[in-house]
Structure 1
Amino acid sequence: MGLADRQRRRPGRRAAPPTTYRELFSYREFRFLYAGQALSYLGDQVAAVAVAVLVFDRTNSALWSAVAYASAWLPGIVGGPILSPYADRLPRRTVMISCDVARAALIALVPVVPLWTAILLLYVAHLFSPPFVAARAAIMPEVLPGEAYITGNGLSNVTSQLSQLLGFVGGGIVVATIGPVWSLLANAATFVASAALIAAGVGHRPAAARSTGLLAESRDGIRYLWADPWLRRCLALVWVASAFSFAPEAIAYPYAASLGGGPVQAGLLLAAPATGFMVGTIVLTRLIRDRSLMPAALLSTVALVPALADPGLPVLLILLMLAGAGASFIVPLNAIFVRRVAPEFRGRAMGVASSGLLAGQGLAFLAAGAAVQAGLAPAVVVGLSGLLGIAAIVATRPAIVSRRSLLTRGYS
């Protein structure tokens, strides 16, 4: 008897206890989805280092290396709202498998084609990420019912952050050991493995929405989100909070230099918020209830304000960890957001949400870098990011919907 069956046989319970991470794996489809996700995350972290090394080795240009590295997020700004409707108009299992196969083929070609073609292939390959992410996010509430979905969403984000931390530590070692070409081929293999796992373990479901034309579906998805004040404010909260709280990442290297450090200190500055985010995700999805989400969102920017005092590295790392922990409010709020959206709009909703997230963070990165380039001290830029972020978060004033209300108001 599965976890869902045990919960159904307990009438009269006011609310089921939070699902443990171990209990998540009693759901067969989740086991296969999670295994594919973990493989892809690890492969992507190694590939990010491999791309930078491969392009720099060919060109000896930091600019072209950065252009290639940016392929991991720039395509999502456009691809999210335009391509995510496929997660609603086609069977989501088919979308995920097709995207994995396409990315595997394109990434495998990168090491063996001329530079310009290689960079173009990277951008095309990452165009398949938004529909994959949208399809996976949309199918998860059907795979994990009730509270299990909240916990499963949290575990997915913890895995993402852990992969980033491992990537900071191990990505360079792997690339140095087997070389950038084999590292990229290994990343392509993780996409093949993910497609095989989804094909073997995820059941077929029909398309969630009738096709009315790609542009029309994109427009309808945006209208649907903007017609709901709560969804609209939720998006605004996530976009502005993540933009300001993660802006310091863009100036990690100049900040480390201003403290008399180098690449090692910069790596610590990048790892600190990721560590805080991972810990915060575990706490918010397992121990603390929904009333803590807004305070956590404020913490993500309040923690940056003391940087105005130009503290030393140990204090700064603590502040960045606190900011990362606060920013993890995004994870449980994302689960609430997805459950509130009607099933036939979930793919498009996640596409719009992810595009706004990428655009906000990208603009914040550029603004932080430009401010330092203009002469502001990195400590001042981080502190100002906190102050501006506080004002932006307060201005959104979203009314956070509780998880229990979503379980009793008919959302599925």
Structure 2
Amino acid sequence: MSPVPDRTPARAPGPAPGGAPTRLLRNRGFTSLVTVQAVSVLGNQIMSIALPLLTLELTGSPAQAGIVAGLGAAPYVVFSLVAGALVDRWDHRTVLMVCNVLRAGVILWVPLAHAAGLLSVVQLYVVSLATGTAFVFFNIAELKALPLTVDTVQLQKASSVNAVTESTGGLIGPGVGGTLVGLGSTPLVGGVLALFVAAVSYAVSVLPLFALPRSPARTRTSVRRAGKEGEERAGGGGGSGIRGEIVEGLAFLWHHRAIRRIALVSAGLNLLFSPAYLAVMVLAGTDLHMSDAAIGLLFSLGGAAGILGGVLAPRLTRRLTHAKVIVGSLAAWAVVMPLLPWAMTPAMLVAGWMLVTLISPVYDVTQLSYRLSLISDELQGRVNSTFRFIAWGLRPLATGAGGLVTAALGPRATLGIAAGGMVLLALGAVLTSRRRPLLPANDGEAASGTAADTSCKDGCS
């Protein structure tokens, strides 16, 4: 693939000509986006607790729970590249609305099937796959909306707010999910009740979207034109230009050394963390005999630690380079991950999980704000979907394999393998960064807006 031609960003890489940009909390579009994210994250977190517990109650098999979780992640492998090209063409507000309406409708199928006495694990497969597909489009549209809603110089702060919102959902959602499961006359009834509440949250989240601005028509038009040009360069012959648009997104990421490296590191992290969530849940329930409500509290406390991490992230990047924060996050994970397989009491498991989730927003905010500042508006959907395709592509396999390993060898073995992999990943990142920096020398300028350029002149290979 040939390098992507330079394109003028659709937004200015700094404050508006009239002065300082609108404060985030006074930015109606941004507050609407955060509200939608908050309500949707609540639904995601309730589902993340309720669906595995419901599967375990229905089948008694960690392997089946792993398959259900893996099907939820599989759509990123199948649909992400096409979804990125389509989201760049479409209005992001409409995409967000349709996705959450679909998620609400599909999840409501579970309570209805249970009421009719027809609930089976196959239906949970379908629900996980369908909601995972909707999440792919929702997530890419959400990423596209952020730099269109705030000024470039505000991306790091906006990403930090998003991380805190995500962690707040992680604080509240699992506790709500575990409590709802516990409220049922049986865990099965409680799981169905929790999924009903998740469906309601997705339906309610549509309302704030009416205040979110639509995608600029000029951006969508330039995407279609660029797609046709890209398809011609790729040897295509006209048509819709979708293939050309996908090629352009792939080429931009692959030739941008910094974004490519972050994507590969993120792929390694997802390979290790995807099976860990289910393994922690099984360890808490079987080895440590924690109740459903206590398991929900465990993940809620992880969300509380994540809030602190989201607050710390911009402060760390003001004092250190983005590369140092990213490598430091990997090193910190390598130290705390081994605590999980050695947890012999609920308190030890809670402490280990909180330390793991404290680091997550630091890494996520740093890499997200950095890469968003480097991508022009008309490429946001395609490049971010390509990034997620690489970073999340192994999640279905890792989650399914993690369920099988947990069923065969136990949750401690799964967590031990993940911890060992994290040590190797961190060691590789540290040694590599000594020979060649992970990010360009001016990485501290990128997320602040002073180096937000799509030409790759300092970061491409």
TM-score, with structure 2 as normaliser: 0.72
- Please say if residues 93 and 205 of structure 1, whose CA atoms lie closer than 8 Å, have aligned partners that are also in contact: no
Kindly provide the amino acid, as one letter, of the partner of residue 170 in structure 2. Q
Q: Specify the alignment match of 1:263 in structure 2.
A: 290
Cα distance in 1 for partners of 2:133, 2:149 equals 25
- Please say if residues 270 and 392 of structure 2, whose CA atoms lie closer than 8 Å, have aligned partners that are also in contact: no
Deviations 1:277-336 (A, max 9, x none): 432221012454242413433334331476599576566655554443333312221111
Kindly provide the amino acid, as one letter, of the partner of residue 368 in structure 2. N
Q: Specify the alignment match of 1:390 in structure 2.
A: 426
- Structure 1 residue 137, shift from structure 2 partner: 0.6
Kindly provide the amino acid, as one letter, of the partner of residue 199 in structure 2. A
Q: Specify the alignment match of 2:367 in structure 1.
A: 333
- Please say if residues 342 and 412 of structure 2, whose CA atoms lie closer than 8 Å, have aligned partners that are also in contact: no
Kindly provide the amino acid, as one letter, of the partner of residue 177 in structure 2. G
Give the gaps of 5 or more residues in structure 1: 11-15
Matched, 1:209 2:223: yes
What is the aligned length? 398
Q: Specify the alignment match of 1:165 in structure 2.
A: 171
Cα distance in 2 for partners of 1:60, 1:362 equals 21
Cα distance in 2 for partners of 1:371, 1:55 equals 17
Q: Specify the alignment match of 1:89 in structure 2.
A: 89
Matched, 1:108 2:119: no
Kindly provide the amino acid, as one letter, of the partner of residue 220 in structure 1. E
- Structure 1 residue 209, shift from structure 2 partner: 0.9
Q: Structure 1's 188 and 318: CA in aligned 2 closer, same or farther, altered over 3 A?
A: closer
Identity %: 20
- Please say if residues 43 and 173 of structure 2, whose CA atoms lie closer than 8 Å, have aligned partners that are also in contact: no
Matched, 1:354 2:379: no
Q: Specify the alignment match of 1:299 in structure 2.
A: 331
Cα distance in 1 for partners of 2:404, 2:428 equals 20
Q: Specify the alignment match of 1:135 in structure 2.
A: 141
1:399 to 432, 436, 439: 439
Q: Specify the alignment match of 1:186 in structure 2.
A: 197
Kindly provide the amino acid, as one letter, of the partner of residue 83 in structure 1. A
Q: Structure 1's 217 and 111: CA in aligned 2 closer, same or farther, altered over 3 A?
A: farther
Give the gaps of 5 or more residues in structure 2: 1-13, 185-189, 228-239, 455-461
Deviations 1:120-161 (A, max 9, x none): 244123212112111111121121113322112122122222
Kindly provide the amino acid, as one letter, of the partner of residue 227 in structure 1. H
Deviations 1:86-135 (A, max 9, x none): 11121222222222232233223343345435532441232121121111
Cα distance in 2 for partners of 1:299, 1:38 equals 30
Kindly provide the amino acid, as one letter, of the partner of residue 385 in structure 1. G
* Matched ranges for 1:360-375 at <5 A: 360-365=394-399, 373=408
Cα distance in 2 for partners of 1:67, 1:371 equals 12
- Give RMSD over aligned pairs: 3.8
Q: Specify the alignment match of 1:199 in structure 2.
A: 210
Matched, 1:409 2:441: no
Kindly provide the amino acid, as one letter, of the partner of residue 88 in structure 1. D
Deviations 1:319-356 (A, max 9, x none): 55444333331222111111212222211222222233
- Please say if residues 36 and 208 of structure 2, whose CA atoms lie closer than 8 Å, have aligned partners that are also in contact: yes
- Structure 1 residue 197, shift from structure 2 partner: 1.7
Matched, 1:78 2:78: yes
Q: Structure 1's 65 and 112: CA in aligned 2 closer, same or farther, altered over 3 A?
A: farther
